[in-house]
């Protein structure tokens, strides 16, 4: 079997739930080493979503390490827990970034700025870093600091207004569609940036 496209590339993945983790997973499928950073005090919210394995008594085996969706989105990653609210956690994160090629994050813009690891901060000690940020409402603008999820963006963007029947209220599309569409674009952007960097 030949060499994979991203062998030798290290991705530091600060993202959680959908778009970011799936993007990192795709990069891992193409040979990149993925280091997933998570807090031990504030878990990735996807850890608390199913599906869960059903036990013989008909109940579900629930726990922070039992979510099928979390395991799927993070199946090919090295897991590291850091307390990013301490100087030690931030220092370790910076050391990992310095040894990496790509950083992925999906928080509101204030998180990475608060920790001193926004793109403008990182390029001071790692000028050739490739970074992709996938906050739900972007880096700038009036909604950029608001939290959100893929299930809310169809309503905010107007997609729900376009679905359903003319004589009925807007219809939900039923899935967090951004989680399944955006990673394809994000992965392409990262690959293009890495190609340009060469």
Q: For residue 113, which of 144, 77, 143 has the smallest C-alpha distance? A: 144
Local structure of 25: helix, strand or coil: helix
For residue 150 the two structure tokens come to: 């893929």
- DSSP tag of 47: G
Query: H-type helices in 46-198, by residue range?
Result: 68-73, 87-98, 109-115, 119-122, 153-157, 159-162, 177-197
CA 135, CA 132: separation in Å to the nearest integer? 10
Q: By the 8 A CB rule, do 15 and 23 touch? A: yes
- Indicate which residue of 57, 72, 179, 195 is catalytic: 179
- Clarify whether 179 is annotated catalytic: yes
Q: Where in the sequence numbering do the catalytic residues fall?
A: 179
């Amino acid at each position: 079997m030949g060499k994979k496209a991203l062998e030798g590339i290290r991705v530091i993945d600060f993202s959680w739930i959908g778009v970011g983790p799936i993007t990192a997973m795709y990069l891992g499928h193409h040979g990149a080493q993925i280091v997933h950073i998570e807090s031990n005090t504030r878990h990735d919210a996807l850890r608390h979503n199913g599906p869960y394995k059903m036990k013989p008594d008909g109940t579900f085996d629930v726990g922070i390490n039992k979510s099928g969706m979390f395991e799927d989105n993070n199946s090919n990653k090295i897991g590291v827990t850091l307390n990013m609210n301490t100087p030690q956690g931030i220092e370790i994160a910076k050391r990992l970034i310095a040894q990496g090629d790509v950083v992925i994050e999906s928080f509101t813009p204030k998180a990475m700025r608060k920790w001193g690891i926004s793109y403008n901060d990182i390029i001071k000690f790692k000028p050739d870093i490739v970074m992709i940020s996938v906050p739900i409402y972007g880096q700038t603008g009036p909604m950029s600091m608001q939290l959100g999820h893929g299930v809310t963006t169809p309503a905010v963007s107007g997609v729900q207004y376009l679905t359903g029947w003319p004589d009925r209220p807007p219809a939900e599309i039923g899935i967090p569609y951004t989680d399944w569409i955006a990673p394809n674009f994000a992965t392409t952007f990262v690959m293009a940036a890495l190609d340009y960097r060469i």
